[in-house]
Chain A
């Protein structure tokens, strides 16, 4: 861990700093935010940012149609994004890793079925899968997270499967098998630690992707309900006023972009650390993108 920290380059450092800043915003929102995000100030509706004519220092980034403080709502909005991101990415990681481990280690027809299922799920762009899921179970943040877990595990399974296939033939694993170590023991103690790094990289990149998707679906009115401040929801509210209140659509988008850049930087940097040969490169199998 210390050597990892010593290896922090500009990219890793920026990523880490952004992610930590967003995490702090989410954790300490009530103390950092200047105002209550839902407090309506009907005397100052649609106020521009402080530096523009008509803006006031009370509302640094302006207010929305109900006079709610944009800056405070952005700070509180980090909670939804981060919570959805962490739960969805780790859920998908656990499910995907377990299935990938089994498919790669035991192979056989279970392995074939799992990997065929991966092909099938990959053929449906995630956003459409999410739409089907929402039609059936109703649009909500919880359902969005569930849909993510049920569709994006394939990203982890693909990576885990490939790595396990390779590891299984290595001597130390063959030695374990020869020594009659239990399969579950081998998987948990000898294989999992060796694939945890790449899976963590995928999880970090997927986290950025969940944040993008959450904001997108909230923007469509299919994610976070309007009473909870969320970046996508704010963009949705700002959309109809785009010709008079540019700040309502600009700042929440900047927040999303910076956050996702942070997670992508962190993920890229971790990948470079794991495999210095590919430093500064990009791979087809690299997660985060693919079908979106």
Chain B
């Protein structure tokens, strides 16, 4: 287990350094940062001074290493617009995004797994038809459009829920539900197919043959063995939700990192966008690490590889 953990941590480090490298390359491609920081008619000597102060006169490899070092100490640059550290800005908005994505994930798991199990058990019944239909439409519908329809129905027509802002649990309902639809569809489809795979297995037939009650057969014997692919997709979906939150947050004016990033793109505030990417990639990688550890717990064979 220790060797397994060490190898996974190393992989995590490689991924994060890779992400930082991509960001660094992109940043260098974005042209001379002094163009953004200084007025167009700035004096050449002023420009030269700023370049020296930012370390832009150093060889590229030195700049790269300095960048990695800065990130390692938590310095991701300052927002051009807000004049405050980008990381601080992102971290202050991160809990809101985490709350939104977490609620959505919980919602989609709670709905998707029972529905997927039922669809597999009653294959080709009306439940299966409904589940498959929901799955197909859920995967094809733009999240933000569902959000707009939700606003139209629940806020405009019925006046039941607030259409924007954060802070109260009622404001969370619409964004979390719309964001959950896509993940629910995917988790449901996968649960269904994973269950279909295991329901034919001998150990399930055996469990039935020895007279175990059906719920025990389904949840203890079948679902547990179908869990590995489901856990994988749930881990991946969390990343998808963090990304999907970008658009949902904009629709509902939810005060998270997604809206921060979109506004920063419009203002070409690179440090903020960069900090959002680094924070989310790190969060996503840590979640996948957790999933892998969970795997090893669920399936002892993996530990020995």
Contact residues of A with B, CB < 8 Å? 116-117, 119-121, 123-129, 131-137, 139, 208, 212, 215-216, 219-222, 232, 235, 238-239, 242-243, 246, 249-250, 252-253, 256-257, 260-261, 264-265, 278, 280-284, 288-292
Contacts and interface: CB of A to CB of B under 8 A. Distances in A.
Given A123-B285, A292-B243, 7 more contacts: A124-B19, A131-B277, A243-B152, A249-B145, A250-B152, A257-B140, A264-B136
Contacts of B270: 135-136
19 contacts: A119-B11, A120-B22, A123-B18, A124-B284, A125-B284, A128-B280, A129-B277, A131-B246, A131-B277, A132-B23, A135-B265, A220-B262, A221-B266, A249-B148, A260-B140, A261-B137, A278-B193, A282-B192, A284-B233
B232 interface: yes
B152 A123 contact: no
Contacts of A288: 139
Nearest to B242: A125
B139 A264 contact: yes
B29 interface: yes
B236 interface: yes
A216 B285 contact: no
Contacts of A252: 145
B92 interface: no
Contacts, number: 176
In order of increasing CB-CB distance, the 10 nearest A-B pairs are A125-B243, A120-B18, A253-B145, A281-B193, A260-B140, A136-B30, A282-B189, A261-B140, A282-B193, A127-B243
Q: Which applies to chain B's interface (DSSP): helix, strand, loop or mixed? A: helix
Nearest to B124: A280
Contacts of B11: 119
Interface of B: 11, 14-16, 18-19, 21-23, 26-27, 29-30, 136-137, 139-145, 148-149, 151-152, 156, 182, 186, 189-190, 192-193, 196-197, 229, 232-233, 236, 239-240, 242-244, 246-247, 250-251, 261-262, 264-266, 268-270, 273-274, 276-277, 280-281, 284-285, 288
Contact of A242 (B156, B264, B285): B156
A292 to B, nearest CB: 5
A115 to B, nearest CB: 11
A219 B247 CA distance: 9
A215 to B, nearest CB: 6
Contacts of A131: 246, 261-262, 265, 273, 276-277
Contacts of B145: 215, 235, 249, 252-253, 256-257
A137 B18 CA distance: 21
A119 B18 contact: yes
Contacts of B233: 284
A261 B141 CA distance: 8
Given A123-B19, A289-B139, A134 B247 contact: no
Contacts of A216: 142-144, 247
B281 A127 contact: no
A1 B23 CA distance: 45
Nearest to B269: A135
Contact of A136 (B27, B136, B189): B27
A291 B140 contact: no
A139 B273 CA distance: 14
B140 A264 contact: yes
A220 B148 contact: no
Given A120-B15, A131-B246, A242-B156, A291 B22 contact: no
A231 to B, nearest CB: 9
Contacts of B244: 125, 127, 292
Contact of B265 (A134, A238, A283): A134
A69 B45 CA distance: 55
A265 to B, nearest CB: 7
Nearest to B120: A281
A242 B148 contact: yes
A289 B240 contact: yes
A260 B182 CA distance: 13
A15 B186 CA distance: 19
Contacts of B14: 116, 119-120
Nearest to B132: A280
A222 B242 CA distance: 19
Q: Which one of A123, A289, A290 has the highest number of Cβ atoms from chain B below 10 Å of its Cβ?
A: A123
